Amino acid sequence: MAPLVSIADLKVHFDLGRRRTVRAVDGVSLDIPAGETLGLVGESGCGKTTLGRAVLRLVEPTGGKVLFRDTDIAQLSKSDLRRMRQHMQMIFQDPYASLDPRMTVGQIISEPIETFALAATREDKRARVRELMQTVGLSERFINRYPHEFSGGQQQRIGIARALAANPAFIVADEPISALDVSIQAQILNLMEKLQRERHLTYLFISHDLRAIRHTSHRVAVMYLGKVVELAGARELYVQPLMPYTKALISAVPVPDPVVEAQRRRIVLEGDVPSPIDPPSGCRFHTRCPYAVPACSEVEPNLVEIQPAHYAACIRISPEEPDIDRVAPGATPGIGGSKEQDPPYVRRPGLAV
Q: In this model, does residue 332 exceed pLDDT 80? A: no
Higher pLDDT, 27 or 2: 27
Distance CA 189, CA 217 (A): 11
Q: In this model, does residue 331 exceed pLDDT 80? A: no
Q: Averaged over 101-118, what is the pLDDT?
A: 95
Span between the terminal Cα atoms of the chain, in Å: 28
Q: In this model, does residue 330 exceed pLDDT 90? A: no
Q: Averaged over 293-321, what is the pLDDT?
A: 88
Q: In this model, does residue 192 exceed pLDDT 60? A: yes
| Cβ contacts of 307 within 8 Å, gap of 6 or more | 236, 240, 242, 329
pLDDT at 234: 93
Q: Averaged over 91-115, what is the pLDDT?
A: 94
Q: Averaged over 246-270, what is the pLDDT?
A: 75
Asked if residues 25 and 54 have their Cβ atoms less than 8 Å apart, the reply is: yes
Q: Write the pLDDT tens digit of every residue in 204-231.
A: 999 988 888 988 999 999 999 999 999 9
Q: In this model, does residue 20 exceed pLDDT 70? A: yes
Asked if residues 31 and 88 have their Cβ atoms less than 8 Å apart, the reply is: no
Amino acid symbol at 81:
L
Among 153, 125, 136, 154, which Cα is nearest to 195's? Answer: 136
Q: In this model, does residue 351 exceed pLDDT 80? A: no
SS3 track for 193-227: HHHHHHHCCEEEEECCCHHHHHHHCCEEEEEECCE
Q: In this model, does residue 30 exceed pLDDT 70? A: yes
Asked if residues 215 and 344 have their Cβ atoms less than 8 Å apart, the reply is: no
| DSSP calls for 25-52 | EEEEEEEE-TT-EEEEE-STTSSHHHHH
Q: In this model, does residue 191 exceed pLDDT 50? A: yes
Q: Write the pLDDT tens digit of every residue in 262-306.
A: 667 777 777 788 889 999 999 999 999 988 889 999 999 999 999
Q: In this model, does residue 336 exceed pLDDT 90? A: no
pLDDT at 135: 96
What residues does 171 pair with on adjacent strands? Answer: 89, 203
Q: E strands of 234-333, at which residues?
A: 304-307, 310-312
Q: In this model, does residue 352 exceed pLDDT 50? A: no
In the three-class reduction of DSSP (H, G, I as helix; E, B as strand; rest coil), residue 300 is classed as coil
Give percent above pLDDT 90 in the chain: 69
pLDDT at 182: 85
Query: With bands split at pLDDT 50, 70 and 90, how would you rate the model's confidence at 344?
Result: very low
pLDDT at 163: 96
pLDDT at 1: 59
Amino acid symbol at 136:
V
Distance of CA 254 to CAs 168, 206, 209, 328, 334, Å? 35, 20, 11, 25, 12
DSSP category for residue 256: S
Asked if residues 180 and 188 have their Cβ atoms less than 8 Å apart, the reply is: yes
Among 112, 87, 100, which Cα is nearest to 155's? Answer: 100
User: Alpha helix locations (H) across the chain?
Assistant: 48-55, 78-84, 105-115, 122-135, 152-164, 182-199, 210-216, 234-239, 244-251, 258-263
Q: Averaged over 67-76, what is the pLDDT?
A: 93
pLDDT at 256: 67
pTM over 0.85: yes
Q: Write the pLDDT tens digit of every residue in 167-188.
A: 999 999 999 998 888 889 999 9
